[in-house]
Structure 1
Amino acid sequence: MGLSQAQRLTTTLRTPLTIGIRREDPQRIWERRAPLTPDAVHELVSKKNARVLVEPCDRRVFPPQEYVKAGASIAQDLNSAHILVGIKETPLERLLTSPATSPTSNANAPYVPRTHLMFSHTAKGQPYNTPLLASFLANPTRSQTDAPLLPSLIDYELLTNEDDGKRTVGFGWFAGVAGVLESLSAMAHAHLEIGIASPFLYTPRPHTLPSLERLRAALHDIGKQISYAGTPQALGPFVIGLTGNGNVSQGCLSMLAELPIQKVAVKDLHELVTNSKTDLRKIYLVHAQPEEYLLNTTGRKYERSDYYQHPENYRSVFAEKVAPYLTLFLNGVGWSKSFPRLMTDQQLAIALERARQLRGARFMSIGDISCDIEGGLQFMTEATTLSSPFYQVRPSSLPSHLPSVQVMSVDILPASIPLDASRHFSKALMPYMDSLVQMYTRNNFKGKFARALERATIAAGGQLKEDHRWLQPAVDKWYANGAAGANVTESVDHPTGQPATKAQHNPELKKVLLLGSGMVAGPVVDKIAQRTDVQLMIASNSSSEIQRLTSGHADVQSKVIDVGNRTTYADLIEQADVVISLLPVALHTTIAELCIEYRKHLVTASYISEGMKALHDRATQADVLLLNEIGLDPGIDHCSAISLINKLHDEKKEIVSFTSFCGGLPAPEVPTVPLRYKFSWSPRGVLTAALNPARYRLNSKTMEVAGTQLLRSSFPKIPISSEFTLEGIPNRDSIPYASTYNLGESSSMRTLLRGTLRYPGFSALMYCFKSIGLLATEKTVQFDRWASFIPQCLGIHLNAPVSQKDIPSLLAGLVPPSDIDSFTHALEWLSLLPPSTIGFVPSPMPPIPSGPMTPLDVFAYLLSFKLRYLPNERDMVILSHEVIAKHSGPMAPEEVHTSTLVTYGTPKASAMARTVGIPVAIAALSIVDDRVPIRGVHGPGDRSIYPTVLDGLEEAGLSMKESNIEGLLPSIVQKRESITGGGGCSKTRATWTVELAQKVSKNR
């Protein structure tokens, strides 16, 4: 076990050795297992002369009185125990690290280091358990002379055979047994939701019966019913797929044997499922072997030794050959990063597309018994609990017409069969307990079980064992960041769904909670993680995104939550100082209400909704700031505009014109595609924005544009940069910004306009799409081939049947003649019309939507596939204001001031992510530092906010470039003049107001 010679000299006791059986963490409500049974305790007491103490626990499968009968004592604490055994890791606040002492009164009685046995979840460097590992190691706050008396840590997971290296103490077989029952029960629930009741509705969940024998009998009765009456015809042949050949899969096979199983080969699946005469009174089992679904890309046959030496030469074809035919898939195979996944997110779409073409309910349900988060099954992103054993999986890359998949991924399955699992575990553990007793009582540490304990020891004598010394830097970093000597504990969940443990923190650290982990979260995390005096916690429903965000940030904590269930994150809000919400806008009011309840500040990048406005008085009374509109648009646009306007006001100048445009676009070098636009998420919002009405001031007139005419009311050649040309589209209602920006009465403004930037041609092409009904939302379409999409949209738009041959003449009548060529080319590029150019090869199309959808939703689905950013393509963000100001007086000269930001995406983060995420982080840190005194619901317009944000953006390389031309008379400012453009470029141009007015006048 790695004890030093000095330790071994002090380990011979004059009193019986004391063994303590811990009570498991109370937060693990389903943990009823015990490491040692009463029979094992009786053997230790009667044959080994050991003293056994048992912490009381009414949840444990063996009642306290059974241990008392076996010779143990019930003890409220285990302070006198030398060996402490439990199942899962010990909560930090209950971990005994001081040496044990002999109960005799002899002043020379030796101190004895303790030994802890548990599944510690530290051997792989799990960051969430670094505090636990550190408790076994010498550190700067401890006297180094005490280090040899620190306890030893032995991990059950590392107990192995000498000959084959296989684990000897564990619960894998019982995970398979329980996994079959949980998966069948969850699957029956999924079938019931689609209107089919199967015999498996009566499958007992493993915790509902007291023994494995009773569970087997119940499943056997279901099997007899199936043999007699069969499974529902609507489900088709009932096929169970199984992977793996270890203890997990053997447990599965043992339980499945209670059903009328007929084994089939992978090659027979298609005939089995498609044959209408297949016997429904059997359950078909395909136990897929690696050679059946692992393909060697070099052309060689699968060989196990070659696979483990060269896993990069293999890819899985499970999604094509096996998955589509399965009614239930039981995954019992493990996975590590250097090996190919069993199924990727993309392969899930392939499997579901093929499954929906077969009869029956195919590939609706998965039991991932191995429970490797984002492992062999990339789309399995979270572990579930026995309280809520399954969830719906839908990767963001999954086409909208394909269904989600139900996954059972309970990570403590053996805990649901506590009696039989505990008996099995205790029997396997006892030989190792015998070796430990001999070590303590006879200083004899020899034999194969002793050597196995040595291999399973992670730490002893205050030092990591040689095989585990690579863990030391993480522990050192944890101490360096203020963890040493901490007296505050907090419950933290590992991103893979591991149950909560206690993480120590510096009590002076401020705590920021980030809710959400989407595309803009990366810069937020990077910015806040730079602060050594701030502890960041990320909470999201996507463990894959959490892992991406925490990569490279060892000190950032995380927890998987259910964003739809406030109880899963309310405690995190209570523990935080500042909360950042990057969740969908609809959830912000709920988050804000919790922040008010717990008196915590909130930051969001979203517009202030009516629901948020209504919380102003409550937030003020609670001394809470609910800060919104602190991203890009809204956000940086507000900060930079207000800064410029306030500076002009401080100079006693009157603002007569304010114009602002903002947009996120592909960088100019990105290859040209229809719309000259690309989407990094669903384009539905962009399409619906093209239907919004707009209102603004121009040439001292209030202009109102109906939603039907928005795309015909764009402004060409917005003069921002000489490097590329842009057009602008009015953005909703600009009039209220007279108040937001303190511009006075809107009626006194000559110009007041906020707009969206696009490349030239966007509005015209989008108008063409609208003209043929592609943006319609009132009715739905459904088709079996993409060629039918445009005829159906035209039919709805014209309220008359349309055939393929009618399309050319109809397009000529609906689309402006000047746009017909570019529009036809766009439809051909999108593969919605046959190509007119010889040799033109259409690009691939996404799968056909399976159900009825509005034309706009179908079009958004198609564009998300066709116009997505490709690798190495970067985006661009442009924000520019033009303000015309003057001193008072009718003949006072006017000045044109511009403020412009042009920035590009980087390999690490998109321009959109940086311009939204960085201001959010800056604002949150400013609040953490108590630099923002305002309370209630606000945007960033207060002087305690926007200057700090702008300074932080300048440090991040996102500063606004300001310029101005002074002394222009009102008559001169209406003419073309040479002025300095934003971003440092100079060109001859009119002021924005002139060019925009000329365009509107021409259109009118």
Structure 2
Amino acid sequence: MLRKILIVGAGKSTSYLINYFLEKSESEKLHITIGDINPKAISEKFAKHAACTIVKLDVFNDEERQKAINNSTIVVSMLPARFHILVAQDCITYSKHLITASYISKEIKSLDKQAKEKGLVFMNEIGLDPGIDHMSAMQLLDSIRNKGGKVLLFESFTGGLVAAESDTNLWNYKFTWNPRNVVLAGQGGAAQFIQEGTYKYIPYQKLFRRTEFFNIPGYGQFEGYANRDSLNYREAYGLQDVLTLYRGTLRKVGFSKAWDIFVQLGMTDDSYTIENSLGMRYREFVNLFLPYSPTDSVELKLRHYLNIDQDDIIWSKLIELDLFNPNKKISLEKATPAQILQEILEARWTLDEEDKDMIIMYHKIGYKQDGKKYQIDANMVVIGENRTYTAMAKTVGLPAAIATLLVLNKKITTPGVQIPLTKEVYTPILKELENYGILFTEQQVPYVGYNT
């Protein structure tokens, strides 16, 4: 008897997810239904596969959504996070397991009791970050604790970047995931973490000037800025007594200092709209944020306003984005500054068809055992194939796909709303990911941390 997998939403992160299911369809007796608001955009390769059905599915159409979920064995929601709740409520109603790669929302969390009562696995945060970060960290932490070690320091950084062979701009960056999330990164409150036993806070306007530097063997130097809430997983990871707890985002060195220009100007603000934005020239947009001068050019005003020398690489980066081009126009009506900035950046930072992206994840864990201090540095590097089969799609989609089959095959059975922190979950998933080139390199290095 066929087991029916329903995938809701077929965005950029689903190429490897779908491939994995189709490759296993015969041996695992699977039929995959892909429901999306725009089914014509889904690859013909999938549409022609005997084990795959593609349907138009509007998640806001209750009848369509409920019918598709009721007809499935398990549901994988790849929708934007705010829409998962619609799917999750139906999964409770029709007793279906649910897999998502998104952070657990309060609304999803509220379904925990009902999911447990019905014996349903609602696995969330089973992508890259969150996802692989949880599983790889817990595997390391559990290994240290099982040997009698006490964790003193935990740092974890992840970056969605462009591979060296496709790095063709001065920013050393191209969009490999949702551009809006990149533009709005770090907003919503001060970044908070613990460093050497002290709570630390970085306000948004200072975030991109407070970076740490890392060397990833074979790939060079990178910088990391703090995520908004490094303390969110303190209890879940069992790190209540840790002296340093820091989670962040990786970029190539120099990106953050240049990005800070947009922050200081106010171009990343998403709280108000700009009148007459439609048809506005790029240089007019820049001028909105600069002091008035009847004689100085936009370029000169910007350099003086933010003290940027003409021979500074940052100035070259701004020029490269066509920010002062009088012929480039904005196509958005009544848009926020952040929306306009996103449009400008997408014109320059979108992956070309054969471009390769790169995912880097880095963990640093310091611990004490038998009176001595040790440190483990672990890193994972994954290179994409092209714009469709990206490293981002691979590292987000494969963990979700593997988890789906493990639930179907009753290898993951603990019910309730959860994230992948237990050995039952992380051991088989990390092992299977190694078969697809997603694995960590670990090395023991001298301990660097709080000296007590």
User: Please, which runs of 5 or more residues in structure 1 have no aligned partner?
Assistant: 1-507, 835-841, 975-992, 998-1004
Please name the residue that 1:906 is paired with. Answer: 385
In structure 2, what residue type is equivalent to 1:738? R
Larger Rg: 1
- Listed as ranges, the matches of 1:766-781 within 5 Å are 766-781=259-274
Shift of 1:695: 0.7
Shift of 1:940: 0.6
Local SS of the residue matching 2:322: coil
Shift of 1:573: 1.1
Shift of 1:540: 1.0
In structure 2, what residue type is equivalent to 1:524? L
Q: Does 1:942 align with 2:435?
A: no
Please name the residue that 1:828 is paired with. Answer: 319
Q: Distance in 1 between matches of 2:169 and 2:319?
A: 12
Please name the residue that 2:401 is paired with. Answer: 921
Please name the residue that 2:197 is paired with. Answer: 700
Q: Does 1:811 align with 2:286?
A: no
Q: Distance in 2 between matches of 1:550 and 1:569?
A: 21
In structure 1, what residue type is equivalent to 2:114? R
Does the 8 A contact of 1:525 with 1:549 survive in 2? no
Q: Distance in 2 between matches of 1:803 and 1:929?
A: 71
Q: Distance in 2 between matches of 1:549 and 1:900?
A: 34
Shift of 1:551: 4.6
Does the 8 A contact of 1:771 with 1:814 survive in 2? no
Shift of 1:826: 2.2
TM-aligned CA distance change 1:640 to 1:704, over 3 Å: same
Shift of 1:859: 0.8
Please name the residue that 1:409 is paired with. Answer: none
Shift of 1:675: 2.7
TM-aligned CA distance change 1:685 to 1:804, over 3 Å: farther
Shift of 1:563: 2.0
Please name the residue that 1:560 is paired with. Answer: 56
Shift of 1:549: 5.5
Q: Does 1:591 align with 2:73?
A: no
Residue by residue over 1:277-319, the C-alpha shift from the partner in whole angstroms, topping out at 9 and shown as x without a partner, is xxxxxxxxxxxxxxxxxxxxxxxxxxxxxxxxxxxxxxxxxxx
TM-aligned CA distance change 1:820 to 1:701, over 3 Å: farther
Correspondence for 2:375 among 854, 875, 896? 896
Shift of 1:756: 0.3
Q: Which moved more, 1:894-903 or 1:683-692?
A: 683-692
Please name the residue that 2:66 is paired with. Answer: 570
Q: Distance in 2 between matches of 1:814 and 1:749?
A: 42
Residue by residue over 1:482-510, the C-alpha shift from the partner in whole angstroms, topping out at 9 and shown as x without a partner, is xxxxxxxxxxxxxxxxxxxxxxxxxx221
Does the 8 A contact of 1:791 with 1:802 survive in 2? no
Please name the residue that 2:347 is paired with. Answer: 865
In structure 2, what residue type is equivalent to 1:623? G
In structure 1, what residue type is equivalent to 2:420? P
In structure 1, what residue type is equivalent to 2:267? L
Correspondence for 1:691 among 187, 191, 201? 187
In structure 2, what residue type is equivalent to 1:905? G
Q: Does 1:886 align with 2:368?
A: yes
Does the 8 A contact of 1:791 with 1:804 survive in 2? no
Shift of 1:816: 4.4
Q: Distance in 1 between matches of 2:77 and 2:311?
A: 45
Structure 2 length normalisation: TM-score? 0.92
Correspondence for 1:536 among 16, 32, 53? 32
Please name the residue that 1:314 is paired with. Answer: none
Shift of 1:872: 1.8
Residue by residue over 1:353-392, the C-alpha shift from the partner in whole angstroms, topping out at 9 and shown as x without a partner, is xxxxxxxxxxxxxxxxxxxxxxxxxxxxxxxxxxxxxxxx
Q: Distance in 1 between matches of 2:210 and 2:306?
A: 16
Q: Distance in 1 between matches of 2:170 and 2:403?
A: 38
Q: Distance in 1 between matches of 2:382 and 2:350?
A: 20
User: Please, which runs of 5 or more residues in structure 2 have no aligned partner?
Assistant: none
Q: Distance in 1 between matches of 2:364 and 2:402?
A: 26
Q: Distance in 1 between matches of 2:440 and 2:48?
A: 30
Shift of 1:587: 1.0
* Bigger fraction of residues in helix: 1
Local SS of the residue matching 1:872: coil
Please name the residue that 1:665 is paired with. Answer: 161
Please name the residue that 2:16 is paired with. Answer: 523
Q: Distance in 2 between matches of 1:535 and 1:720?
A: 41
Please name the residue that 2:441 is paired with. Answer: 961
Q: Distance in 1 between matches of 2:177 and 2:443?
A: 35
Does the 8 A contact of 1:679 with 1:867 survive in 2? yes
Residue by residue over 1:564-616, the C-alpha shift from the partner in whole angstroms, topping out at 9 and shown as x without a partner, is 21311212211212100001111111111100111110000000111111111
- Listed as ranges, the matches of 1:358-437 within 5 Å are none
Shift of 1:517: 0.7
Does the 8 A contact of 2:186 with 2:207 survive in 1? yes
Q: Distance in 2 between matches of 1:690 and 1:802?
A: 32
TM-aligned CA distance change 1:816 to 1:934, over 3 Å: farther
Does the 8 A contact of 2:32 with 2:53 survive in 1? yes
- Listed as ranges, the matches of 1:263-302 within 5 Å are none
Please name the residue that 1:493 is paired with. Answer: none
Structure 1 length normalisation: TM-score? 0.43
Correspondence for 2:118 among 603, 609, 622? 622
Q: Distance in 2 between matches of 1:601 and 1:732?
A: 31
Q: Distance in 2 between matches of 1:778 and 1:535?
A: 44
In structure 2, what residue type is equivalent to 1:516? G
TM-aligned CA distance change 1:789 to 1:928, over 3 Å: same
Does the 8 A contact of 2:176 with 2:357 survive in 1? no
